[in-house]
Structures are given as C-alpha cells and as structure tokens.
Amino acid sequence: MATASQAATLRKTDQNAMQYFVVMIDYGRRGREAIVDPEITRREVVARVVSGEYRNICFIHEIADAAVDDVTQEILAEAALPEIPITGAELQARHFDHARDLAKHDEPV
C-alpha cells in the first residue's frame, strides 16, 4: 500500500506524463525526416494529413509515458476523405482530355 506522499507523487507524475507524435516522412532519394513536436495533438496531425502538409508518410507513432504505439492506419483512416463516385460527365471529359493529349503527340485515338 502506498503512503500519502507516494500517492501524491504518482498523481503528479500522471499529470506530467508526456504524449507526443512522431511522423516519419519519406523524401525518396533525399532521405527521411522525423517530425517530432511535443505540442502537436492527434487532431492537428490528422488535419496536417488532410491538408497535404504530411505526404509520403512511412509511419506515425504515438508516444505516451513509456509506451510507443503505431497509429499510422488509424490516423490515415481518420484523415481519409470520402470517396465520391465518378459521374458519366466526368468520364466523358476524361476521354476528351485523353484524346486531346494523344492528338498533341500525333498518336491515333
């Protein structure tokens, strides 16, 4: 059983527990970069993924206390935009764009 001072120390430790995210970005030949900001929240990481600020993500780790969790799939799922089906007009416009591009290069349609 913990004494009163030990219990107070445990409560103080829990309040001061650090939680932060590590986002590893892959730049291909230029290498990788780990973005670590103790002040960024999960919501802000999701917002940066949605905005396109974070691209080519290798992994996202959440570090809380002494535990490390890979939350890459969870964050990417939260950031995913809903799929909007392609309409017939968009398909036709794509076909015309493709035909125009082929005509630029003198290739038969």
At 57-68, the pLDDT tens digits run: 999 999 998 899
Q: Is the pLDDT of residue 23 over 80?
A: yes
Q: Is the pLDDT of residue 11 over 90?
A: no
Locate the domains of the chain by residue range: 4-82
- Alpha carbon distance 100, 94 (integer Å): 10
Total-model pTM: 0.59
Q: Show the tokens assigned to 20.
A: 């932060």
Task: Choose among 8, 9, 34: nearest CA to 23.
Answer: 34
Average pLDDT of span 95-102: 82
Question: How does residue 99 score in pLDDT terms, banded at 50, 70 and 90?
Answer: confident
Q: Show the tokens assigned to 71.
A: 């939350």
Average pLDDT of span 90-107: 78
Q: Is the pLDDT of residue 94 over 50?
A: yes
Average pLDDT of span 3-31: 68
* Cβ proximity of 46 and 71 under 8 Å: no
CA dihedral 100, 102, 108, 109 (to 10 degrees): -50
Q: Is the pLDDT of residue 83 over 50?
A: yes
- What is the structure's pLDDT at 36? 94
